[in-house]
Structure 1
Amino acid sequence: MGDWEFLQKLLDQVQEHSTVIGKIWLTVLFIFRILILGLAGESVWGDEQSDFVCNTKQPGCTNVCYDKAFPISHIRYWVLQFLFVSTPTLIYLGHVVYLSRKEEKLKKQESELRAVHSKDPKIEQALAALEKKMSKIYMTESGRLKIRGALMWTYITSVICKSIFEAGFLVGQWYLYGFSMVPRYVCKRDPCPHQVDCFISRPTEKSIFIIFMLVMGLISLILNLLELFHLCCKSLLSNIKKVSGPAALSQDTFVDDMVSSPYAPKHYPFLPMAESHAPSYQTYNKLSSEQNWANYRNEESLALGTGSRPLSDPYPPQPAEASAPEEKPGSRPGSSASKKQYV
């Protein structure tokens, strides 16, 4: 069947730069298709032509009937299928290697320019151009390439090509052989003198092997379609984030401008939780006490002018540390002495 080690080494490198579904597809390709075909394929199909027997002794009749029954051997058909299906993946691997080498080359040029330690405008322009080129190559923290930008489109194209090849070879196998192997094949072709019956060895075993390879091909096709759907959704979400990113940034800037207004903060001292509540209350008590003393002196002078008995001092002198006295009804302008004076 040939040596598959070189192809397996190449496809192993693809696993490092594939999605989870892509890694599952490679596992199915290696273990359930290439490995099974290499171990059991030749033993099952090795006697395909030698045990193909027809009920005639006409020279050349058996060969032409075998050619008509099997236009291409199943083993060679599946090998050709694996090569076609793996080719888009190898092209994607070539793009990965190209970007990796390009990124290393740009880093080397950047380190050489930064080692100059010069403020030449040409060097700064060259550094800016290198940084612009490196920004188009998306790398992870571990140094591996991210599936973004041009690499994303290469990966999507490779998955589409794999899906087309898988579907095409499945249809071709159904068209050439069907889904089972019949034990008797009827042939009518020159140089056979008449209709000839030809017999195939181990048809049931071969039919089981054909069905197994068809099922593996269908699973690979479904995995390719799922991966294509996953990549399209991922690309769509990234584009939506790019479009909505500047709008959200401008909205946040507008909110920040509204919150940080240029006006000084206002104080409300009469609110219960205000810090300046106590000083305002003390100022209010001081003004009220001075007004009461003024009213008392006014009433006393009016009483002396009319010859009545002077009023007793309702506010005896108090020490300076004492708190302000409570307001009494006699200290107001509506007292009895003021009423008599006005009468």
Structure 2
Amino acid sequence: MDWKSLQALLSGVNKYSTAFGRIWLSVVFVFRVMVFVVAAERVWSDDQAHFDCNTRQPGCTNICYNYFFPISHIRLWALQLIFVTCPSFMVVLHVAYREERERKYRAKHGENTRLYDNPGQKHGGLWWTYLMSLFVKTAVEVIFLYLLQLIYDSFRLPRQVSCKLQPCPNVVNCYVSRPTEKTVFTYFMVGTSVICVILNLCEIFYLIAARMVNLRHRGTVHTSACQIQAESDFDGCRPALKS
């Protein structure tokens, strides 16, 4: 997987993100992608080759390994990183759509005209797109954490498992390679996923709160303007009433 290309694509998201979004992006690259590429892939590189069972029955070891590890941790985390980062592209595409509309508007009405004050400003439809991307990212994180716990029944890898599946002749004991090291990495990846969920929730509440404050401020300004206009109209009519 070309993680450099993914980093180049997500670098454009950073300038449209809030402070929480920038922290989330840093956590994803430093504590998830870097750890995944540098260390985690190597830890799980020999998981099937070093999965030993106390039998020489052909096919028994493969059957037991596929039963206890239906999806490799490393492949599940790779899918999780892809699905988690994809919603951020919604924001980039929306901004690109706004910039294209801005270009066509200026070409039609002149270079001094403007359709948007700032195409990357989170107002209107872009605000909803950004908020929706946060909900999708949070849902994906929770779903993959649930799948990891459901498939392996725990985040802790056992040292030994017992298997009784065909073509195994009887109950055989199988031994997982480097279970402690893999358990440490599993808890680390789960912990960073939880941190990313918390950051997404904080950003959601921040966006909603900022939107409510902005709408309240607009309502206050509009009410004040109406009151000033009403008083001006009344003062303007007052001399006529005296005459």
- Tell me whether 1:217 sits opposite 2:193 in the alignment: yes
User: Which one has the largest radius of gyration?
Assistant: 1
1:155 CA displacement: 0.4
Q: How does 1:1-343 map to 2 (within 5 A)?
A: 2-111=1-110, 134=115, 137-139=116-118, 145-177=120-152, 178-256=154-232
Distance 2:109 2:89 in 1: 30
Deviations 1:239-281 (A, max 9, x none): 3233333222111234456678866xxxxxxxxxxxxxxxxxx
Q: Does the residue aligned with 1:174 lie in a helix, a strand or coil?
A: helix
Q: Does the residue aligned with 1:46 lie in a helix, a strand or coil?
A: coil
Structure-2-length-normalised TM-score: 0.92
- Higher normalized helix content (fraction of residues): 2
Q: Does the residue aligned with 1:186 lie in a helix, a strand or coil?
A: strand
| Equivalent residues of 1:181, 1:207 under 8 A apart | yes
Partner of 1:322: none
1:9 CA displacement: 0.7
Any runs of at least 4 consecutive aligned residues in structure 1 with deviations exceeding 6 A, and if so which? 258-261
Distance 1:90 1:247 in 2: 39
Structure-1-length-normalised TM-score: 0.66
Q: Highest relative contact order (Cα 8 Å, sep 6+), 1 or 2?
A: 2
Q: Does the residue aligned with 1:48 lie in a helix, a strand or coil?
A: coil
| Equivalent residues of 1:55, 1:197 under 8 A apart | yes
Quote the sequence identity (%): 39
Structure 2 alignment gaps of length 5 or more = none
For the aligned residue pairs, the C-alpha RMSD in angstroms reads 1.9
Q: Does the residue aligned with 2:80 lie in a helix, a strand or coil?
A: helix
